[in-house]
Amino acid sequence: MKNTALITGASNGIGLELAQVHASKGGDLVLVARNKSKLDELKIVLEKQYKISVLIICKDLSLPNAAKEIYDETTKKNIKVDYLINNAGFGDFGMFADSDWNKELQMINLNITTLTLFTKLYLQDMIKRKGGKIMNVASTAAFQSGPTMAVYCATKAYVLSFSEAVSNEVSDKGITITSLCPGATASGFQTAGAMEESKLFKGKKLPAAKEIAEYGYAAMIKGKTVAIHGMMNYVMSNSIRFIPRDIVLKVSRKMLDKA
């Protein structure tokens, strides 16, 4: 029996690799992103290689009604979404007082509002069917405040907290919700967020988006609530709770500053 996965931010990086992983399992796909040409190319490749069905939806997910419009479209087409993967998101680098409010508002809308509404809409259907899986892509940034990335880190803290709470609420309904928390990744994220000069990225050998996607997909299938990629990321993310917050802030600032 084929499972259909809806993946946001599917035109590149981790989202594209998640589409590859799911297609390789024989599952159909609904792929959402803004870049139509990239989605068209991906659809052709996946359908030819894996003999599956791929629906592409081009949409700016930072717009207020985007999630509802996509939900309505899949409902109208009688598409049953078995796996919802909220991968779309972006960050920005710089001092909050100097940053672009419009960009930050788009970030909040995409990273928080759209993800939350997608989860609510498809979760209600999953509850009726008594089954389904959701993966919300958070970050290791969710575990501490991030000077020079204040809004981004705050949005990812929301994703983690929200996902853990709702996961508990539906734990007896045949549904799992996984928070995938990758660290710095070679996925194009740093370029989009103007972070190439940050110590977190510059000169570092980073895990590939494919590695993160395979790890995250496996964690979702297993029903893990929180999936932190990499042993060092796991240790650092969990040790933070035992360290005074002012020290964590100083270390975080040092890691995120320009190299």
Q: Is 188 left (phi over 0), alpha (psi -120 to 50) or beta?
A: left
For residues 235 and 257, give the distance between their C-alpha atoms in angstroms, rounded to a whole number.
22
So what's the pLDDT on residue 197? 56
Residue spans per domain, the chain: 5-256
pLDDT in the model for residue 175: 98
Residue 137: CB atoms within 10 A of its CB come to 28
Residue 233, pLDDT score: 76
Please report, in tens digits, the pLDDT of each residue of the chain (259 residues total): 689 999 999 999 999 999 999 999 999 999 999 999 999 999 999 999 999 999 999 999 999 899 999 999 999 999 999 999 999 999 999 999 999 999 999 999 999 999 999 999 999 999 999 999 999 999 999 998 889 999 999 999 999 999 999 999 999 999 999 999 999 877 655 454 445 555 554 555 689 999 999 999 999 999 999 999 978 877 777 777 766 777 666 666 666 666 5
| pLDDT of the residue at 47 | 98
What pLDDT score was predicted for residue 193? 45
Provide the token pair at 20.
């590859």
Provide the pLDDT for residue 240: 74
Task: Find out if CATH 1.10.150.20 is the number for domain 5-256.
Answer: no
Q: How far apart are CA 107 and CA 145, in angstroms?
A: 16
Q: Provide CB contacts within 8 A for 250, sequence distance 6+.
A: none
Question: Could you tell me where the DSSP H helices lie in 130-208?
Answer: 150-169, 189-192
pTM of the model: 0.89
What is the structure's pLDDT at 243?
A: 64
Instruction: State the Cα torsion 221-224-230-233 to the nearest 10°.
Output: 150
